[in-house]
């Protein structure tokens, strides 16, 4: 088990012939993801460098391949539309990797996703989602699903993990997620799934959505959540954890030393009335029983402790 | 991106939102004729306001209410070319190049109105209060019921009845209701059409009743805009409002190369990929007793040239006594960083200790490149993990300071 995606998930790439789309389609294939095709308008009928079929539209791609998940590398001006296209074509799990989508586009996209129950949007501006596969040889994995830009080799399947334990990881930051994954793998802790929810103000799944999935997933033994300054999603997740969670949660909040922004106006401060500094979030999470790391380098050791391995 | 008050006034005017009469001037002579024109056309008082990208102007003495043309000239003479030091500027202050000379309208009541993108409700939100003016944050903290919060439909935006409802709840009566609700609607539309992340009017005012306006006139006195940088490509009209005199040259240069750079007060330069890891790296430097000199996120798709430029920006900061490179490659390929380090050593030169920690995509190639270049870059050390990296750079900078 895992959350969101597994080795049977059929995945297409929207923007498969762009530089990033092509590079990461190959990376996902190499990891063992069932990449079944992609879209680039104007190139329908051709094959990509890996021999995957290219379609004009997502609907055509879904009809021909049975894809249920999509990885989006479409440039920012068109990415919001690409998300809506995927949702309307019947894609269930949409990973929008694209960084820099205008927030007003995302306001409309978010409403569109909410009107399509059963569609899960991950991101945008995120590394994607990965359910690690079993390692069958050096540089070769099976049964996993990597949708996104994370380096596959740092991950570890629970069955390959010397501790036979696995954490679920949910994070606003891509590279900090890799950091947490790497520390766990080096300590013999596997990962059930890792979800980068992205750093944009308006996005798809948020901390609570993913933590709820991990709570229900039998393969997940503990959760690592990585947040940062801004907004109140971490604090809300803390309350959800206090009231509902039956697994240990370890957290890190980045930005304790970030300078106070030369803030413009008062609207941001008065809308929620909440303090959105790193320290305020750390205090709120601790009050809810979440173990919060002082340093991002401590996440692996704290996961060990939470799993009673040390 | 920030804009000046006189530019914000123009955006409001263009959108049909009433503002007091006034104009922007860049010389004492122009200030004199602007003030003369205002007094000649009925102004009883005129306000002279410095146009700088920082708040705290009033307390710093850079907003002056004047009753004569001579007083306006005195205020303009004092402000132009002077440096304004306020709570928001730092001790060096900001040089004043532009002034706004405007009619100081009589005020019967002050309100607060803003529109912003709200993470919590995941849509645009209108915020309003009948207690506008100086202490709006205090009002929000002590009496949250005095703040009206109205989430707007993500597709339709504001409906006329919603704008009316807010105007009524703010206490507008009679003919002022239509004026206020029209202004609120226009503000919401403007927020979205310009891809602003925030538009704030504080204060919005109602003027005292007169024979021609028995219920008073509603107008915006001061406005602030913040724009979504990700949408500037479709707003040339907004982009051209940027004031190059107000920008930090290093931050502008970084921006040109697609780098996100913010100058801080410490002495350890940081080059990191990803905003979260960049913040985490700053946090861990501090935990080990060091002080970061900057936030620098090279992003995922920076070219080798952009990364070289990042080194140039960091190293051109004289306070930098050491550099920490922390890359966990996902989109970013580590070998590109390694090549940029080698390139920067040749074209920029490392005058201070350098600690490099690389992990992720193409890390094996990157390690080979750095290993081969080791003898050419004697100041370089490699680190095995994040703690090791922070420890090494803090030690190296400490040793440099002791010696």
B89 band by pLDDT with thresholds 50, 70 and 90: confident
Range from A5-14, A187-196, B325-334 carrying the lowest mean pLDDT: B325-334
pLDDT exceeds 80 at position B331: no
Q: Closest residue of B to A171, CA-based? A: B276
Q: How many CB atoms lie within 10 A of CB B148?
A: 16
Report chain B residues whose CB lies below 8 A from the CB of A226: 276
Domains A10-122 and A156-306 share a fold: yes
Q: How confident is the model at residue A272 (pLDDT cuts 50, 70, 90)?
A: low
Could you tell me the pLDDT band of residue B246, with boundaries at 50, 70 and 90? Answer: confident
SS3 sequence of chain A: CCCCCCCCCEEEEECCCCHHHHHHHHHHHHHCCEEEEEECCCCCCCECCCCCEEECCHHHHHHHHCCCEEEECCCHHHHHHHHHHHHHCCCCEEEECCCCCCHHHHHHHHHHHHCCCCCEEECCCCCEEEECCEEEECCEEECCEEEECCCHHHCCCHHHCCCCCEEEEEECCHHHHHHHHHHHHHCCCEEEEEEECCCCCCCCCCHHHHHHHHHHCCCCCEEEEEEECCCCHHHHHHHHHHHHCCCCEEEEEECCCCCCCCCCCCHHHHHHCCCCCHHHHHHHHHHCCCEECCCHHHHHHHHHHHCCCC
The DSSP secondary-structure symbol of B238 reads H
pLDDT 10s digits, A228-258: 988 889 999 999 999 999 999 999 999 888 7
Residue A261: per-residue pLDDT: 57
B240 contact partners, CB below 8 Å, separation of at least 6: none
Tokens 């019921």 — which residue?
A: B145
ipTM: 0.88
**Which residue of chain A is at minimal alpha-carbon distance from B1?**
A264
CA distances from A185 to A63, A152, A154, A200, B335 (A): 38, 12, 7, 28, 23
Block residue for tokens 């503990």: A222
- Residue B361's pLDDT is 84
**Alpha-helical runs (H) found in B15-111:** 28-40, 57-60, 69-79
Would you call B175 exposed, middle or buried from its count of C-beta atoms within 10 A (0-12, 13-18, 19+)? middle
Contact A271 B284 (CB under 8 A): no
State the average pLDDT over residues B274-303. Answer: 90
**CA of A19, closest CA in chain B: separation in Å?**
10
Chain A residues closer than 8 Å to B195 by CB: 102-104
For residue B262, give the H/E element and its range: strand B260-263
Are B276 and A254 a contacting pair at CB < 8 A?
A: yes
Long-range CB contacts for residues A280-286, cutoff 8 Å, separation at least 24: A280/A235, A281/A227, A281/A229, A281/A234, A281/A235, A281/A238, A281/A253, A282/A251, A282/A253, A282/A256, A284/A234, A284/A235, A284/A238, A285/A234, A285/A235, A285/A237, A285/A238, A285/A251, A285/A253
- Is B283 in contact with A267 (Cβ distance < 8 A)? no
Nearest by CB to A270, which of B137, B282, B284? Answer: B137
Convert the pLDDT of each residue in A60-70 to its tens digit.
999 999 999 99
Element (H, E) at B94: strand B94-95
What pLDDT shows up at residue B86?
84
Question: Who's near A137: CB < 8 A, 6+ residues apart?
Answer: none
Between CA A253 and CA B353 the distance in angstroms is: 29
| 8 A C-beta contact, residue B274 and residue A175 | yes
Which range has highest mean pLDDT (A184-198, B228-242, B327-341)?
A184-198
Chain mean pLDDT for chain A: 93
Best of A15, A110, A171, A257 to mutate (most B CBs within 10 Å, chain B): A257
- Chain A residues close to B255, C-beta within 8 Å: none
- The nearest alpha carbon in chain B to A253 belongs to B280
Which residues on chain A are in Cβ contact (under 8 Å) with B247?
A: none
Contact A257 B234 (CB under 8 A): no
A255-283 average pLDDT score: 71
Contact B118/A at CB under 8 A: yes
Note whether A178 contacts B330, CB cutoff 8 Å: yes
Q: Where in chain B is the domain with CATH 3.40.50.261?
A: 248-402
Could you give the CA distance from residue B307 to residue B319 in angstroms, rounded to a whole number? 20
What superfamily does domain B1-20+107-246 belong to in CATH?
ATP-grasp fold, B domain (3.30.470.20)
Q: Give the relative orientation of helices A233-244 and A278-287 as an angle to the nearest 10 degrees.
A: 10
CATH class of segment(s) A10-122: alpha beta
Please give the Cα distance from A256 to B282 (Å, whole number): 9
At residue B189, what are phi and psi to the nearest 5 degrees?
-65, -40
**Known catalytic membership, residue A266:** yes
User: Distance, in angstroms, between B147 CA and closest chain A CA?
Assistant: 8
| C-alpha angle B179-B181-B182 in degrees, rounded to nearest 5 | 65
Confidence of residue B400 (pLDDT cuts 50, 70, 90): low
In chain B, which residues have their Cβ closer than 8 Å to the Cβ of A278? 283
Q: Is B95 on the interface with A (CB under 8 A)?
A: no
Average pLDDT over chain B reads: 92
How far away is chain B from the Cα of A295, in angstroms, using its nearest Cα? 6
Which pTM does this prediction carry?
A: 0.91
Residue ranges matching CATH 3.30.1490.20 in chain B: 21-104
Partner A contacted by B147 (CB < 8 A): yes
Could you tell me which chain A residue has the CA closest to the CA of B389?
A: A297
Q: What is the mean pLDDT of residues A187-200?
A: 95
Q: Which of A183-187, B61-65, B218-222, B261-265 has the lowest mean pLDDT?
A: B261-265
pLDDT of residue B260: 87
Percent of chain A with pLDDT over 70: 95
Can you list the alpha helix ranges (DSSP code H) found in B257-333? 275-287, 304-315
Contact call for residues A247 and A222 (beta carbons, < 8 A) = yes
Instruction: Say yes or no to pLDDT of B25 above 60.
Output: yes
Q: Where in chain B is the domain with CATH 3.30.470.20?
A: 1-20+107-246
To the nearest whole Å, the CA of B148 is away from the closest chain A CA by 10
SS3 of residue B89 by DSSP: coil
Taking residues A296-301, what's their average pLDDT?
95
Residues of B with a catalytic annotation lie at: 112, 200
The domain locations on chain A are 10-122, 156-306
What element of type H or E holds B338? helix B334-347
Closest residue of A to B234, CA-based? A77
Interface of B with A in 228-287 (CB under 8 A): 228, 230-231, 233-234, 262, 264, 272-277, 279-280, 282-287
β-pair partners for B48: B64, B101
CB spacing of B117 vs A104 below 8 angstroms: yes
Contact in structure between A52 and A61 (CB atoms under 8 Å)? no
Chain B nearest CA to A176, separation (Å):
5
Q: With 0-12 CB in 10 A as exposed, 13-18 as middle and 19+ as buried, what is B180?
A: buried
CA atoms of A230 and A156, how far apart (whole Å)? 31
The DSSP code for B230 is: G
The third-level CATH classification (topology) of the domain covering A156-306 is Rossmann fold (3.40.50)
The alpha-carbon gap from A102 to the nearest alpha carbon of chain B, in Å, equals 5
The reply to whether residue A228 touches residue B279, judged by beta carbons under 8 angstroms, is yes
Q: In which element (H, E) is residue B378 found?
A: none
Contact residues, B window 45-84, toward A, CB-based 8 Å cutoff: 54
Pairwise CB contact (< 8 Å): B387 & A77:
no
* CATH of region B21-104: 3.30.1490.20
Q: What is the pLDDT of residues B156-180, one digit of tens each?
A: 999 999 999 999 999 999 999 999 9
Angle among Cα B196, B14, B202 to the nearest 5 degrees reads 55
Nearest to B292 among A229, A257, A266 (CB): A257
Nearest to B219 by CA among B176, B252, B255, B189: B176
- Measured between CB atoms, does B193 come within 8 Å of chain A? no
The shortest C-alpha distance from A180 to chain B (Å) reads: 11
Chain A residues lying within 8 Å of B200, measured CB to CB: 264-267
B56 has pLDDT over 60: yes
CB contact under 8 A, B137 and A294: no
Could you read off the pLDDT of A103-134 as tens digits, one per residue? Answer: 999 999 999 999 999 999 999 999 999 999 99
Q: Out of 3.50.50.60, 3.30.70.100, 2.60.120.20, 3.40.50.261, which CATH number does the structure's domain B248-402 have?
A: 3.40.50.261
Is the pLDDT at B402 greater than 70? The verdict is no
Average pLDDT rounded to a whole number, residues A172-177: 91
Are B202 and A265 in contact (CB < 8 Å)? yes
The answer to whether B117 contacts chain A (CB < 8 Å) is yes
Which residues in chain B have Cβ-Cβ distances shorter than 8 Å to A233? 119
């Amino acid at each position: 088990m895992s959350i969101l995606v597994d080795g049977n998930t059929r995945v297409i790439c929207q923007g498969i012939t762009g530089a990033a789309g092509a590079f990461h389609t190959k990376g996902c294939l190499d990891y063992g993801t069932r990449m079944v095709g992609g879209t680039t308008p104007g190139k329908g009928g051709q094959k990509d460098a890996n021999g995957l079929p290219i379609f004009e539209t997502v609907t055509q791609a879904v009809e021909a391949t049975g894809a249920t998940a999509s990885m989006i590398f479409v440039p920012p001006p068109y990415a919001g539309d690409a998300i809506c296209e995927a949702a309307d074509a019947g894609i269930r799990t949409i990973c929008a990797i694209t960084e820099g989508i205008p927030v007003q586009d995302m306001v409309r996209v978010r409403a569109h996703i909410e009107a399509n129950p059963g569609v899960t949007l991950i991101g945008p501006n995120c590394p994607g989602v990965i359910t690690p596969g079993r390692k069958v040889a050096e540089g070769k994995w099976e049964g996993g699903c990597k949708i996104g830009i994370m380096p596959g080799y740092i991950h570890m399947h629970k069955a390959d993990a010397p501790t036979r334990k696995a954490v679920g990881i949910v994070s606003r930051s891509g590279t900090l997620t890799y950091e947490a994954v790497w520390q766990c793998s080096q300590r013999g802790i596997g990962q059930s799934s890792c979800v980068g929810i992205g750093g944009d103000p308006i996005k798809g799944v948020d901390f609570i959505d993913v933590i709820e999935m991990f709570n229900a997933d039998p393969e997940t033994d503990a959760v690592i959540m990585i947040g940062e300054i801004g907004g109140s999603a971490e604090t809300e997740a803390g309350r959800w954890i206090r009231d509902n969670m039956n697994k240990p949660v370890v957290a890190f909040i980045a930005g304790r030393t970030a300078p106070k922004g030369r803030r413009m106006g008062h609207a941001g401060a008065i809308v929620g009335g909440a303090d959105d500094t790193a320290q305020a979030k750390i205090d709120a999470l601790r009050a809810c029983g979440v173990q919060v790391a002082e340093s991002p380098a401590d996440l692996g050791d704290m996961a060990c402790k939470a799993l009673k391995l040390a | 991106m920030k804009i000046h008050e006189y530019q914000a006034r123009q955006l409001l005017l263009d959108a049909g939102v009433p503002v007091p009469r006034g104009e922007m001037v860049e010389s004492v002579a122009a200030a004199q004729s602007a003030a003369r024109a205002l007094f000649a056309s009925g102004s009883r008082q005129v306000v002279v306001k410095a146009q700088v990208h920082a708040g705290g102007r009033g307390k710093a003495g850079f907003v002056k209410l004047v009753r004569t043309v001579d007083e306006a000239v005195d205020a303009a003479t004092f402000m132009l070319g002077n440096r304004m030091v306020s709570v928001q500027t730092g001790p060096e202050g900001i040089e004043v190049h532009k002034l706004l000379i405007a009619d100081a309208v009589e005020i019967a009541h002050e309100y607060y109105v803003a529109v912003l993108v709200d993470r919590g409700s995941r849509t645009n939100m209108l915020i309003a209060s009948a207690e506008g003016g100086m202490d709006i944050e205090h009002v929000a903290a002590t009496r949250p019921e005095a703040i009206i919060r109205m989430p707007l439909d993500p597709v339709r935006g504001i409906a006329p009845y919603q704008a009316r409802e807010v105007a009524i709840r703010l206490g507008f009566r009679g003919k002022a209701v239509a004026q206020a609700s029209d202004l609120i609607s226009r503000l919401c539309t403007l927020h979205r059409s310009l891809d602003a992340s925030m538009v704030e009017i504080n204060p919005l005012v109602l003027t005292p009743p007169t024979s021609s306006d028995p219920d008073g006139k509603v107008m915006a006195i001061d406005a602030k805009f913040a724009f979504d940088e990700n949408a500037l490509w479709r707003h040339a009209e907004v982009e051209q409002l940027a004031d190059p005199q107000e920008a930090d040259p290093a931050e502008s240069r970084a921006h040109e190369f697609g780098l996100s750079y913010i100058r801080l007060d410490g002495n350890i330069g940081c080059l990191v990929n990803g905003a979260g890891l960049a913040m985490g790296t700053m946090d861990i430097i501090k935990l080990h007793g060091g002080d970061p000199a900057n936030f620098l996120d090279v992003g995922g798709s920076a070219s080798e040239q952009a990364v070289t430029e990042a080194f140039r920006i960091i190293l051109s900061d004289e306070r930098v006594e050491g550099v920490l490179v922390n890359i966990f490659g996902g989109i970013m390929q580590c070998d590109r960083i390694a090549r940029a380090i080698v390139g920067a050593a040749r074209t920029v030169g490392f005058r201070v200790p350098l600690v490099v920690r690389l992990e992720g995509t193409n890390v094996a190639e990157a390690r080979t490149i750095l290993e081969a270049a080791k003898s050419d870059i004697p100041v370089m050390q490699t680190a095995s993990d994040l703690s090791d990296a922070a420890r090494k750079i803090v030690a190296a900078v400490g040793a440099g300071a002791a010696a």
